[in-house]
Structure 1
Amino acid sequence: LGSTPLTELPRISSALTPFRGDVTMLGGLCCDSGREHGDGSGDHARAGAAYLTATHPRKTSGKDIKAGTSIDQFAAAYFEGKTRFGSLELGCEEGIQGGNCDNGYSCAYSNSISWRTQDTPNPPEIRPRAVFERMFGTADEEKDPAKRQRFGEFRRSILDLALGEAQSLKSSLGGADRRKLDEYLYAIRDVEKRIQSIERDNAVRAPVKTALQTIQV
């Protein structure tokens, strides 16, 4: 490893020439975990799975997928509680998470670059409306506090019921199914956190709105 002053930039980067004293050019980089390493074809799936995990994924099209925790999730864990959402996974096109998508590699590898754990990918959200409502809430929630409260209580009752049934079911499941159930429970807990976060935000927003209305009057 070493470094040398930049005297001339590559043609594709020539627009940065006036700033070459402030630029660091990196070369010789490689995501070795995306190579085949004896697993044969499946470059697209391996590339997606290894991109943020730096882990060579297990070649399987079944439930026993395995990659690694992605770097974005380490950041999400570090900043937990400091932002409204730990992370937002966004995409442009729908992708299934099961089945064989690339020469024996699960579709989960091809369609998720974010992994919460080594066997739990974070599928991206592709619906703009769903993203907007997740970030800002629905119109009814914003405009009508009574509706917001009723809706929140309704959601909490459903979550409590789902958690109770899931926990009672867990002891009767095998290893692979327990992992899937854990993913389901994690998703429910994430919804709970979102509800609590929205409620905190609304509690702060309401006094501000009242104060503004008083000033206008």
Structure 2
Amino acid sequence: MDKTRRKLAEARLRSRRRFLQTAGVTITLPLLPSLMWERRASAQTDACDKPKRFVAYMFGNGVHKAEFKPAGSGSTAFNVSGDDWQLPAPLRTWEDLKSDIVFVSGLENMERRREAGDHGLGCGALLTARMPTREKPRSSMSVDQAIADKIQECHSGVHSLQLGTHSVGYHDGWGTFYTQNISWRGEVIRNADGTVTFPHGDATPLGKENDPRAVFDRLFAGYDPNESEAEAARRRALRKSVLDTIVPHGDSLRNRLSVEDRAKLDELFTGIRSLELEIEAGHGANCMPPEQPRMGLTNNDAFRDQLNTMHDLMVVALQCDITRVITFMQTDPISDRNFSYIPGVNGAGGVTSDHAGSHHSGDPAMIEQYRAMVNWKMEQIGSFIRKMKEATDIDGGPLLDNSLVWVGSEIGDGDAHDHQDLSVITAGKLGGLVTTDRHVRFPPGGWRDYDKVKTYGDFYLTLLDLFGVQATGFGDDGVEAITWHR
């Protein structure tokens, strides 16, 4: 898109969006039909009117692969749906979400190039499908950034958000730029035929924000970092809500809205105030242990609350159309976050973290504790997807229906630390482009038998195509799009 077309597109977008702004506080409103200019007849198919959203949700330290396989008569088939497949045990709390997900298994990502340091390798390749290098951060564009670039052609909001819960200060030989980040900016070559190429080379990891309060202020307290930080600090000192500042102006706006859009605005205001109360209640600096601040929260009940608040922030950011692309690291890999508050995790043998528990070497007691931690993490991810399903989108349907949430880990089996026969989950229908309630399995191949193996790169080529990105390849091994979405 040339500069003139881009300016016209941005002007058109702003005409369809409204902002409530006063005293340094800006709230981006959701798409409200009452405020839009009269639409052309073709608007029903306009990507700007029917936004698609992407979330990459990473959890650390893999799974107990023996249990993380769908059960049922069709569990070994290529593509089964409905009653022909059943959720694996770690997803037992997802029964109400089964009709919204696709379980994809049998993928490979860098097993053929495997070197020591599986966590850094897996994180570096997670969304890039590119083998990392140890000396310095060299990679290529991650799939979330390629999608975000495409979305920006018809979206004037925040390009993308990179979020997490903490940043571990050590690594397994690859550097913290791999273990702390999954989103990467790299070179893009735009070819004459309309395709794009993402070459390997110098790349920049996009650091994540771990503090819910900082995320809240970025989303709702203005886009000028200096002004908004000062205003946010002043408001907190006075215990003054964002809504106390903005609602008088919102009242005049409400009078111009339809009944349906008033309900959406009220839902937004209610959600913002709820988030403020959550953040005020549980996420101050006192949650950080002074002796090891790099490890994040040790008050694990607060970690549960932190996750819940981050989930709420992500949903509101998407629902309000502030951004359409988010990456989230539930935990960093190699983390020693204490999970001993989870029933079944009692610290026998010194195991209280999922990283330590993953190194069970077949010990039944350690497997049981690792299983409990994996199950808990899956429950939290299910909670986020459920929030997406319960949120209302501009078309009156669930926010999840116009979105795609990708869920995966940097390694496959926690004990083996492998990168083959990997499973990923997608949630959401992406506006009808994805047919859900299915298990799609690709032949994982044998040792060094990679000719027929399907890779993360192949998977991402299909994902990019669903978002309108025609790529010549992706990562080291992405050469052909594969059918996992229908």
* TM-score, reference length from structure 2: 0.25
**Residue type matched to 2:86 in 1?**
L
Instruction: Give 1:122's aligned residue.
Output: 206
Instruction: Give 1:85's aligned residue.
Output: 158
Residue 37, structure 1, aligned to residue 121, structure 2: no
Question: What percentage of aligned pairs have identical amino acids?
Answer: 26
Instruction: Give 1:136's aligned residue.
Output: 220
Distance 1:135 1:27, change over 3 A: same
Question: Is the 2:145–2:185 Cα contact (8 Å) retained in structure 1?
Answer: yes
Question: Is the 2:137–2:205 Cα contact (8 Å) retained in structure 1?
Answer: no
**Structure 2, unaligned runs of 5 or more:** 1-76, 187-201, 222-227, 233-245, 256-486
Question: Is the 1:52–1:114 Cα contact (8 Å) retained in structure 2?
Answer: yes
Q: Aligned equivalents of 2:160 and 2:87: distance in 1? A: 35
Q: Aligned equivalents of 1:68 and 1:57: distance in 2? A: 9
Deviation at 1:46, TM superposition (A): 0.7
Deviation at 1:110, TM superposition (A): 0.6
One of 99, 104, 111 as aligned partner of 2:180: 111
Distance 1:83 1:15, change over 3 A: same
Deviation at 1:7, TM superposition (A): 2.9
Q: Aligned equivalents of 2:250 and 2:101: distance in 1? A: 50
Instruction: Give 1:212's aligned residue.
Output: 252
Structure ranking higher on relative contact order (CA contacts 8 Å, 6+ apart): 2
Residue 73, structure 1, aligned to residue 145, structure 2: yes
Q: CA deviation digits over 1:71-90, x for unaligned, max 9?
A: 11112111226142111111
The structure where strand makes up a greater share of residues is 2
- Name the SS of the counterpart of 2:185 in structure 1: strand
- Name the SS of the counterpart of 1:29 in structure 2: strand
**Residue type matched to 2:213 in 1?**
R
Question: Is the 2:87–2:98 Cα contact (8 Å) retained in structure 1?
Answer: no
**Structure 1, unaligned runs of 5 or more:** 143-205
- Name the SS of the counterpart of 2:164 in structure 1: coil
1:17-56 aligned at under 5 Å gives the runs 24-30=102-108, 32-33=109-110, 35=111, 37=113, 40-56=115-131
The structure where helix makes up a greater share of residues is 1
Deviation at 1:120, TM superposition (A): 0.3
- Name the SS of the counterpart of 1:28 in structure 2: strand
Q: Aligned equivalents of 1:108 and 1:41: distance in 2? A: 17
**Residue type matched to 1:68 in 2?**
S
Q: Aligned equivalents of 1:125 and 1:52: distance in 2? A: 18
Instruction: Give 1:173's aligned residue.
Output: none
Distance 1:9 1:77, change over 3 A: same
Distance 1:134 1:8, change over 3 A: closer
- Name the SS of the counterpart of 1:41 in structure 2: coil
* TM-score, reference length from structure 1: 0.51
Deviation at 1:127, TM superposition (A): 2.0
Q: Aligned equivalents of 2:78 and 2:250: distance in 1? A: 61
Q: Aligned equivalents of 2:98 and 2:250: distance in 1? A: 53
Q: CA deviation digits over 1:81-124, x for unaligned, max 9?
A: 6142111111111346xxx7322x12101110011225100010
Aligned length: 142
Question: Is the 1:9–1:17 Cα contact (8 Å) retained in structure 2?
Answer: no
Deviation at 1:18, TM superposition (A): 9.6
Q: Aligned equivalents of 1:16 and 1:127: distance in 2? A: 28
Deviation at 1:27, TM superposition (A): 2.3
**Residue type matched to 1:86 in 2?**
H
Q: Aligned equivalents of 1:16 and 1:141: distance in 2? A: 41
Deviation at 1:3, TM superposition (A): 2.9
**Residue type matched to 2:185 in 1?**
R
